[in-house]
Structures are given as C-alpha cells and as structure tokens.
Structure 1
C-alpha cells in the first residue's frame, strides 16, 4: 500500500467525475455482499476505506443513490460508473471502488468480507483472510468453513 504523500487518483469511465486521495487507506478488502454485487454487477468488489477528509472530488460531483437504509452509493451521472459507498455504519469513511483508481494495482485487497454471502461458484484461493461479515465482527474463518 502506498504510504507516501503522493495522492492516488481515479474516477469514472468517461472522466466527468474524478477524485484524489492522500495517505494510506484504513483497509482494503474484497466484499462479497449481495448489495455490492447488485451495485457493481460483479461477483465481488474490492473497496478501500479512507477517512472522509482524505478524499477530494473534482470535476462533476458524483450522483448519489440510497441503496438501503443508511447506505449511499456514489456514481457518475453521465456514464454510470459506480465509484464509492458511504454509510451510517462507518460515518467518517468513504469506501472507494479500487478498480476506479488510475492504478488499481496500487491497492490490493488484504482480505475478503461478507464471505457468508459469497456466490457458491466463486473460489477463493489467494490465501487472504476471510470473514463471514467484517473483521470487526469476528475472527477469520477457518479453511473448513
């Protein structure tokens, strides 16, 4: 993970919405929950959690959609690219979709969350820790789970 002061940059597919983040994220994880699958159209999505003050949006402001009570998804109003998750559960964080970074390889996931909702045909063989919900809600799952 980048630890230097160089900002990471990213944005939507058409370039209308851009962002820059300074400093390292609090975490980076692959999320397997149903809501993230619906929001991104992918079997799982990799997010990085940043303090709200670390994220600076530029260009057009992202559009927002309340995907469930207390949860908003941010996306480009022009091209529809999903960009971020913000929720009441983590009020001081912005969860950016790592694949929207200009260099998504800069923030590899450190684990898998909401594995209890993982699609049955997804196989996790990367050796990263797996959590039934989140790391804060219990220890890693065992290989037998």
Structure 2
C-alpha cells in the first residue's frame, strides 16, 4: 500500500498488513486534523518507507510525535510511546482509502455530539486497550 500528502512532496510505502484500523474521536486528533473525527491504521515502524521530502515532526504532547508535510500541511502519521511497535498512518493519505475501512472507534467518549456515524463497529470510551 502507498500514500502521500496533498501536494505530493511526502510519500510512504509499505508491503505490511495493517495491525488494525480505526476512527479516533479524541480532542487532540480532532484539533490537529481540524476534523470532527479521524481515521488511521497501524503498521510496524520498520515496514514503512518514506520517500520524497522527509516529513516534519511536531511533538504535540508527551510521548506523541505527529508527522506532517511542511509544504502543504497534510497530517501524515503519528508515533506514540503507548504503541512502540506501530506507526499510526492517517487513512486519508492512502492512494486508495477505501481499501482500509475502520474496524472500531477509539476515544468515543470524546466524540462531538452532532456527528452520528451509523455503523455497528465496536466503540471504546478510551483506547482499544482500555
């Protein structure tokens, strides 16, 4: 699978299968992406190859790094100390986002009240780990 930013400067590529894919409703992701909800998936760090321009890194909170394109501002991924194995890539960066449907919701307790996603996916109040 492959992905890139809006302007095409930052690219990533991986042959790995996603460990998981989900919607995130947390306030940090909403604010960072300027969206009511985000979707992302996990791949092992070593399975992702970056090409083109190196993504910039923003330390958004303790133990969390957000990767983005410095030219167009597209949020590409984030790394967290809570998941040292996987990098979390935003589904919207995929060349074919429909190939990676979310399988569950995390931080659903933080969801915006006017957004009503009508699916039967599991909803976790916080992270899927508890």
Q: TM-score, normalised by structure 2?
A: 0.97
Structure 1 position 63 matched with structure 2 position 43? no
Give unmatched runs, 5+ long, in structure 2: none
Deviation at 1:22, TM superposition (A): 1.3
- What is the correspondence of 1:102-141 to structure 2 with a 5 Å cutoff? 102-137=95-130
1:19 aligns with 2:12: yes
Could you report, residue by residue, the CA deviation over 1:82-115 in whole angstroms, capped at 9, with x for unpaired residues?
0001011111210000011000001000011000
CA RMSD of aligned residues (A): 0.7
Unaligned runs of 5+ in 1: 1-7, 138-145
TM-score computed with the length of structure 1 as normaliser: 0.87
Q: How many residues align?
A: 130
1:31 to 19, 24, 29: 24
> Runs of 4+ in structure 1 displaced over 4 angstroms?
none
